[in-house]
Amino acid sequence: MAWQMLPTNYTDAVWAGLKRYTEITNEDGTVSFQDVTQYSNRDNSFFGASDANRMNEALNTIMSMVENGTNLYTDFQNYFTVQKAAFKSEADSINADFEAYVADLKTEGDAAIETIKTDYKTEIETFEDTQEKVFNTWFELVKGQLSGDVAGNLQNQITVNTKRILLLEGMCLTNSFIAPLATDDDELTVITDDLGNVILADWKYKEV
């Protein structure tokens, strides 16, 4: 059985002024006095029979060993060895639990990192595939436009774009916008009348 340390935190009771008692009349005609003093520290000042008995038992054991010629040093070493073994067993158990906890954390962390790496790789591959498709589509479009006289085709596109920019700039300056009507879908088909003429819409923005 492991030794239970005896209390060493006893303190003196503290109160202000004189102690105060209330006189109580008992049913048999006697009187009793109840302590009503206001203590600021009383819990640790009480020395109970349990503590006294434990101290006496410990002292009796030591004195019995001395009278019987027992080697106190050897007994202490044996006791210390037992306590050391118990402490080591508990420490090993706690350490094993801690190592298992750390191992679980590492496993969870490794799994989370692998998931992140996999998701990142998937996103990169998807992005690269999308960009490759966009580039190929753009390249096919440009390749068709730049076939033949590359310099001439480029100049024609620059001229067309310049005219469009100038037209848009003029509409902005005059607040008079004209544009063909088109369907609101992926095809963006220009709307025409029965004769095939493009239907134009014109509008102005109201100044506030």
pLDDT at 30: 94
CB-hemisphere CA count at 13 Å for 72? Answer: 8
Shortest CA distance to 25 belongs to which of 17, 13, 33?
A: 33
When pLDDT is cut at 50, 70 and 90, the band that residue 13 belongs to is confident
- Tens digit of each residue's pLDDT (9 = 90 or more) over 138-178: 777 766 666 666 667 777 888 888 988 888 888 888 888 88
Q: Give phi and psi for 164, each to the nearest 5.
A: -65, -40
Task: Tell me which amino acid residue 31 is.
Answer: V
Give the Cα separation of 151 and 166 in Å (integer): 22
pLDDT at 144: 66
Q: Give phi and psi for 39, each to the nearest 5.
A: -95, 140
pLDDT at 25: 93
CA 197, 202, 206: angle at the middle one, nearest 5?
170
pLDDT exceeds cutoff 90 at 28: yes
Cβ atoms within 10 Å of 51's Cβ, excluding its own: 13
- Tens digit of each residue's pLDDT (9 = 90 or more) over 50-97: 777 878 887 777 777 766 666 666 777 787 788 888 888 888 889 888
When pLDDT is cut at 50, 70 and 90, the band that residue 32 belongs to is very high
Stated pTM of the model? 0.29
